[in-house]
Amino acid sequence: MSWSRRNTVVGDCGNEPGGSGKNAILGCQDEEFTQLMKTTSAPHKHLSRVLPDKVTGKTKLPLSPVKMLMGREFNYSGRGRFSLSDSCHVLSRYLPVYGPTVLDRMKSCAYVSQFSTDGSLFVAGFQESHIRIYNVDLGWKIHKDIRARSLRWTITDTSLSPDRRFLAYASISPIVHIVDVGSAAKESHANVTEIHEGLEFSSNSNDYEDYSFGIFSVKFSTDGREIVAASSDESIYVYDLESRRLSLRIPAHMSDVNAVCFADESGHIIYSGSDDHLCKVWDRRCFVSRGEAAGVLMGHMEGITFIDTRGDGRYFISNGKDQAIKLWDIRKMSSNVNYTPRRRYAEWDYRWMEYPEQAKNLKHPDDLSLATYKGHTVLRTLIRCYFSPAYSTGQKYIYTGSTDSSVYVYDVISGDQVAKLDYHEDPVRDCNWHPYYPMLVSSSWDGMLASWEFPGKVENPVAVKRTRRRRRFFY
C-alpha cells in the first residue's frame, strides 16, 4: 500500500514515462476467451436456431426463456433437457439488482463480506474488532458473533475453510487467528469464551509487538490444509496447518502485497498483486530450484488492490488504483520477472486524493491484459472485485465495489456496465454474489450490509437512521 505514497503529478501525462496517450480499449478482444465464455454461458446451437427474428431472419442473443423452454420441449438439442450452459444462459438474465434489504447495521466500517462456498453461511468483518457469521438458510440469523483478538486498525480479511468448520481472520499484524465456527458457543470472545489460535507468520516473536508488518489478504487452500497470506513486508507466506508452521516465505514484490490467492484446486499456482503495479504468478513446483516468479503481468498503471481467480488455473482478474479491473491469461505473462514499473505520480495518494483526470484513459505501453473494465472508482481502501458465480451465470460477469458507494457489474466480453447498485453512503469495499441464488450482498463503510435480489421483495427497504461518522482513511 505504500507505493503511491512515495510517488508528483507531472505536467503532460501523455508524454510521461510509463504511460501512453492512447485510450485503453474496454472489453475482451481475445477470441479464445470469448469462445470459452460461449461454451459456459451460451445456449446449445440447435436451441439458438429456434424461432429466428422475423425481420432479420437471424437469431438474437440472449434468447428469451420462453424460446429456450420451447426448444427444450421440442427436444431441439437432442438431450431432452438443458445443459449447464443452457441453464446459465437463462439464469444469467436475472441479475440481483432489486432492493436492497438491509440485513444488518453496525457502528463501524464493514471491510469484508463473503459467502461460504455452498452459500449457507455469510461472513462480515468490521473495523472495531467485530466479525459476524450469519446462517443464510435460517433467515440470516447470527450463527457466530466473534470479538477478534489483538486487532490492529481493522479486520483486513477473513477466509472460511472449505468444510466451514474454521474461520481465519487477519489484521495489520503478523498473526492470523483461527476460530472454531462449528463450536456450540454463539458468542466467541477471543481467549475469554473461546480460544482463537494464533498462527505466527513472523520468525521473530518480538515482531508482533513491534508492528513489523500486517497481513492484507488470507485464503484457505481448496483442501483446507494450507493458508496463503499477502503482507506489507513485500512477501507471500504459505502456512501448513497440519504441521503448524510456515512452509514457504517468498520475497515476492517491491512494495506491499495487497492480494493473493491459489489459482485452482491443485494449490500449485499462486497469484499475487502488489503496490508495485504488478501481478505475478508463482509455481511452487519449481520455485525451490528457480527462486523466482514463473512470470509477471504488466498493465496496471498503479497498485493492485485485489485478485480473484476464475478457478481454472489460467484466468484471473485484478482491481487497480488506476481505476480499472483487468482480465489476465497467465499464458501471456512475461518472463521478465525483474521488470521494474516506472513511477508516475510522486505526490498522488489514493487514500485521500482523487485520481488525476488526465490519467484516466492512459494505456500501459507493455499491457499484457486481455481486457479492461472501467466505470467504478478505487480510492481510500482496497476495493474488491470478483467473477460472477459459475453455477448461475457461467462467470459471464465481473462485479466490484466502488468508492462512490455503489456496486458495478460488467459484461466480461463486451466490457459494458450492465448494472449499478446504488444505496450506500460510503465506499463499498466488498460485495459478494451468492454461489447459487440471484442474491448479492454489499458491505460498506457506512456499516450496512445490504442484500440485492431477483426479483426482490415488494416492500420498501428497512428504514435506517443515518449517522455521520468521522471519515477514516487507510487501507
What is the rounded CA–CA span in Å between residue 152 and residue 380?
Answer: 18
Rounded to 5 degrees, φ, ψ at 86 are -60, -45
Kindly state the cell numbers that stand for 141. Answer: 440469523
283 and 326 belong to one structural domain: yes
Note the pLDDT of residue 250: 95
Note the pLDDT of residue 83: 81
385 and 332 belong to one structural domain: yes
Please, which pLDDT band fits residue 77 given cuts at 50, 70 and 90? Answer: low
Write out pLDDT tens, residues 236-273. 999 999 999 999 999 999 999 999 999 999 999 999 99
12 and 60 belong to one structural domain: no
Share of the chain above pLDDT 90, in %: 66
Write out pLDDT tens, residues 329-365. 999 999 988 888 776 777 899 999 999 998 888 899 9
User: How many structural domains is the chain composed of?
Assistant: 2
Please, which pLDDT band fits residue 20 given cuts at 50, 70 and 90? Answer: low
Note the pLDDT of residue 338: 81
> Is the residue at 437 inside a domain?
yes
Share of the chain above pLDDT 70, in %: 83
Q: What is the DSSP string of 340-395?
A: -PPP--SS--TTTSPPPGGGTTEE-TT---SEEEESS---SS---EEEPPHHHHTT
Contacts of 171 (CB under 8 A, 6+ apart): 148, 150, 151, 152, 153, 154, 155, 156, 214, 215
Q: For residues 322 and 81, which has the higher predicted lDDT (pLDDT)?
A: 322
**Mean pLDDT of the 31-44 span:** 89
138 and 104 belong to one structural domain: yes
Identity of the residue numbered 409: V
> Is the residue at 425 inside a domain?
yes
**Mean pLDDT of the 185-194 span:** 89
147 and 73 belong to one structural domain: no
| pLDDT score of 55 more than 60 | no
Structural domain boundaries enclosing 57 = 47-82
368 and 400 belong to one structural domain: yes
> Is the residue at 200 inside a domain?
no
345 and 283 belong to one structural domain: yes
> Is the residue at 387 inside a domain?
yes
Closest listed residue to residue 169, CA positions, set 223, 210, 224, 130: 130
The mean pLDDT value of the chain amounts to 86
> Is the residue at 217 inside a domain?
no
Give the other-Cβ count within 10 Å of 15's Cβ.
10
53 and 130 belong to one structural domain: no
Please, which pLDDT band fits residue 5 given cuts at 50, 70 and 90? Answer: very low
Contacts of 395 (CB under 8 A, 6+ apart): 37, 40, 41, 310, 387, 388, 389, 412
> Is the residue at 273 inside a domain?
yes
> Is the residue at 87 inside a domain?
no
Are 433 and 407 in contact, with CB atoms under 8 Å apart? no
121 and 22 belong to one structural domain: yes
Task: Identify the CATH number of the domain in which residue 387 sits.
Answer: 2.130.10.10
341 and 398 belong to one structural domain: yes
Are 234 and 254 in contact, with CB atoms under 8 Å apart? yes
Write out pLDDT tens, residues 416-469. 999 999 999 999 999 999 999 999 999 999 999 999 999 865 444 444 444 444
70 and 29 belong to one structural domain: no
> Is the residue at 16 inside a domain?
yes
333 and 414 belong to one structural domain: yes
